[in-house]
Amino acid sequence: MIKFIIIAIAVIVLGKICINLFVQWMLYHPSRTVEFMPQEFGLKSEDIYFSSSNGLKLNGLFFPAPDARMTMILFHGNAENVGDRLDFIKMLVDLGLNVFYFDYQGYGRSQGNPTEQGTYEDGLAAYGYVRSRADVDPERIVFYGRSLGGGIAIDVAARTGCYRLITEGAFASIKEMAKGFVPVIPFQYTVADKYNNVKKIAALRMPYLIIHGTEDGTVPFSHGKKLFDAANDPKEFYPVENAGHNDVHVVADKAFWVKISGFLDL
């Protein structure tokens, strides 16, 4: 009996280690290679270096829009950096938004290695930088978080507030995600409670738009609904029919930009 208990404990401990290593791998896929440059999309930008609270140097791009009515901070996904989704940024600038697009620790030209707390600190540093600019109205800063970036945007919004919050393809929590990857119930409870977005949403009071593709194979559509159910008013849920995790604005096409414009009162 004692031997069985020892073996069971060893299996659980080993399982916990393996599962949390898997979660760490799943969360972050940083690339140092910046594939595309803003000028390839006809975009003007400023190459910005700023510091996170731990002293690491971070990199971002500031895209100014003529007569901008507000400024958006874009929190990217776990396998992206500032060389990705520049077509998306072009549309935002064309709508009349300044955009600040930055890399977390370990991504692109930002120093360090990504961690949960580190990404939150990076988000706070990005917000502080944007607020410090003379050409930015600090009362009209919008957060847009995609996938992993949704959790970072939610955390920073809960701490600082913002004018509007948008998340796209965000998950409820890593524990909720683990249920889909780890069907064995005892091991689900060994997963570290990272990016508990659904819990933090209770602290939010700004208008919140939740976007999710109905055919998202990375973050199930049910996560978007859980975030919406947990959010306070005013809130909107925008399900994009037949869209996956990375093609929401492409599948929705013009309707996507109509929704963004309407939510931001542009």
Active-site annotation, residues: 147, 216, 245
Give exposure, 211-236, as e/b (b: 16+ Cβ within 10 Å): bbbeebebbbbebbebbbebbeeebb
Six token digits for residue 74? 């874009």
Give the Cα separation of 234 and 158 in Å (integer).
Answer: 15
The edge-to-edge listing of strands for the beta sheet with 97-102 is: 46-51, 57-63, 97-102, 70-75, 141-146, 164-168, 208-213, 235-240
165 within 8 A of 157, measured Cβ to Cβ: yes
Look at residues 43, 67, 42, 26 and name the one whose alpha carbon lies nearest to residue 218: 26
> Which two structure tokens, joined as six digits, stand for 195?
């990016």
What is the b/e burial string over 191-210, where b = at least 16 CB atoms within 10 angstroms of the residue's CB?
Answer: beebbbbbebbeebeebbbb
Contact 173, 198 (CB under 8 A): yes
Angle at 117 between CA 226 and CA 195, to 5 degrees: 10
